[in-house]
Amino acid sequence: MTSLVNSSHFAIHRLPSSFSTAIATHFNSPRFSRHIFNVSVSSQPQQQGIETPPRVGFLGLGIMGSPMAQNLIKAGVDLTVWNRTKSKCDALITLGAKYKSSPEEVAASCDLTFAMLADPQSAMDVACGKYGVANGMGPGKGYVDVSTVDVDTSKLINGHIKSTGALFLEAPVSGSKKPAEDGQLIFLTAGDRNLYETAAPLLDIMGKSKFYLGDVGNGAAMKLVVNMIMGSMMASFSEGLLLSEKVGLDPKVLVEVISQGAINAPMYTTKGPSMIKSHYPTAFPLKHQQKDLRLALGLAESVSQSIPIAAAANELYKVAKSHGYSDEDFSAVIEALKTKFQNTENQ
């Protein structure tokens, strides 16, 4: 882990002590309060009495953001939300969330703002564009971007946020729709260590574990490596299902055999049965998996590392996208292989 900048400079930009204290007081649970003990976030004496609960913002209420925000509301967090399509905010407003009409307004009204956006361009637009988060940030505030973006994008956002005097943490998540609903995500964080400690109780509401990886960019890189492996695994699994069927084996038995061996992975057991039925209920959209493979290829190229298996997998996901499976689950990559087999048989 990298060390913090010198404390005399850092204290100018740290979140107020009342923010960390309020989180621990508000949730009043060892699970949450253990993360803020012994965290000195200000040279000022701690205010006595009952602290005001922190105001938290959440931007982006798609397949992942919506359940994450719901878990914060259910835990009693004072939440303010925004989404490009306002109707996606309605369920959360019903649960008690406030609404603001722009990312700037959310950031201005909150102590800490989270964002879960679909891709690097969306993340940049929301953070740095017109009416973006940066316009509402300043000293004493924090921005936690849990989107999956490339390293360069994360560093650009960091620069814009830090220039306002606010703190920045990248925290892309490993996990899909069901883990998001169950509060079982894995956060891969990097950036301001003080903001990491302050936000930890909120991360624990939404996830089962978190890793602090040092400098901004390391979280983005770790997420791309993880999703590169996952995408390649699913492509290989798809090949196995189709090959087993072609040689007269029962693919359902293949899934069972895999589930009892060293190569077992939860996604095989979860997705295998529906893949056999050509059914792909969306937990992680195929278009996002292909985007992450593309970004991983760019990351590999930047350090001259060959990743031919991931490159081949990326081509399969592109084929599946071209056949209309972008919004299906990424397990629909198997359809690209079916197309290849059919073309071979017809030749």
d(CA 323, CA 114) in angstroms, rounded, equals 34
Evaluate whether 23 touches 176 at the Cβ level (below 8 Å).
no
* Residue 170 near residue 17 (C-beta atoms within 8 A): no
Q: For residue 268, give the amino acid letter.
A: Y
Determine contact, residues 132/145, Cβ cutoff 8 Å. no
Q: Extract long-range pairs of 179-183: CB within 8 Å, 24+ residues apart.
A: 179/208, 180/63, 180/64, 180/67, 180/68, 180/206, 181/67, 181/70, 181/71, 183/71, 183/207, 183/208
Distance of CA 1 to the CA centre of its chain: 21
Please, which residues bridge with residue 167 across strands?
142
| Three-state secondary structure of 278-326 | CCCCCCCEHHHHHHHHHHHHHHHHHCCCCCHHHHHHHHHHHHHHHCCCC
Q: Which helix (H) or strand (E) holds 168?
A: strand 167-170
Burial of 303 (0-12, 13-18, 19+ CB in 10 A): exposed
Whether 162 is catalytic: no
Catalytic choice (141, 177, 223, 271): 223
Residue with token string 């800490």: 112
Neighbours of 224 (CB within 10 A): 26
Write the single-letter amino acid at 166.
A
Say if residues 193 and 41 touch (Cβ distance below 8 Å).
no
143: its two tokens:
């921005």
Beta bridge partners of residue 98, listed in sequence order:
80
Tokens coding 126: 């929301």
Catalytic sites, residue numbers: 223
